Amino acid sequence: MLRSAALLALAIPVLPVVAHAEPVTASLATESASETPASATDAPAAETTDQSETTDNIVVRAHERSPGDPLEGANRKSYAAVQAVDRAVVGPVAKGYEHVLPRPIRRGIHNVLYNLREPVVFVNYLLQHKFGKAGETLARFTLNSTAGVGGLVDVAVAKPFRLPHRVNGFANTLGFYGVGAGPYMFLPIIGPTTVRDLIGTVGDRMFLPVAVGWPFTRPAYGVPVAVLGTIDDRIEMDDRLHRLRDLSANPYAATRERYLCQRRADIAALHRHGPTPFPAPDPSCMPPVTQPQPTTEPTHP
20 within 8 A of 232, measured Cβ to Cβ: no
- Within a domain: 15: no
Number of domains in the chain: 1
Is 296 within a domain?
A: no
Residue-level pLDDT at 28: 32
Query: Is 111 a member of any domain?
Result: yes
Running along the chain, 301 residues long, what does each successive block of 10 average in pLDDT? 40 41 35 38 41 40 61 97 96 96 96 95 97 97 96 95 95 97 94 97 88 75 88 93 92 96 94 61 68 48 48
Q: Omega before 67 cis (within 30°)?
A: no
What pLDDT sits at residue 56?
Answer: 40
Q: Please give the residue range of the domain that contains residue 238.
A: 2-8+68-276
Each residue of 240-259: pLDDT tens digit? 999 999 998 999 999 999 99
Q: How far apart are CA 123 and CA 107, in angstroms?
A: 25
According to DSSP H, which parts of the chain are helical?
2-11, 27-35, 45-63, 72-85, 91-100, 103-127, 131-146, 170-176, 195-212, 219-236, 238-246, 251-270
- HSE-CB at 65 with a 13 A cutoff on CA atoms is 9
Please tell me the distance from the alpha carbon of residue 199 to that of residue 188, in angstroms, as a whole number.
16
pLDDT value at residue 290: 61
Residue 147 located in a structural domain: yes
pLDDT at position 189: 85
Domain for residue 226, yes or no? Answer: yes
For 241, other C-beta atoms within 10 Å of its C-beta total 22
Distance CA 78, CA 84 (A): 10
| Residue 292 counted as domain residue | no
Burial (0-12, 13-18, 19+ Cβ within 10 Å), 23: middle
* 117 part of a folded domain: yes
Residue 174 is assigned to a structural domain of this protein: yes
- 8-state DSSP, 16: B
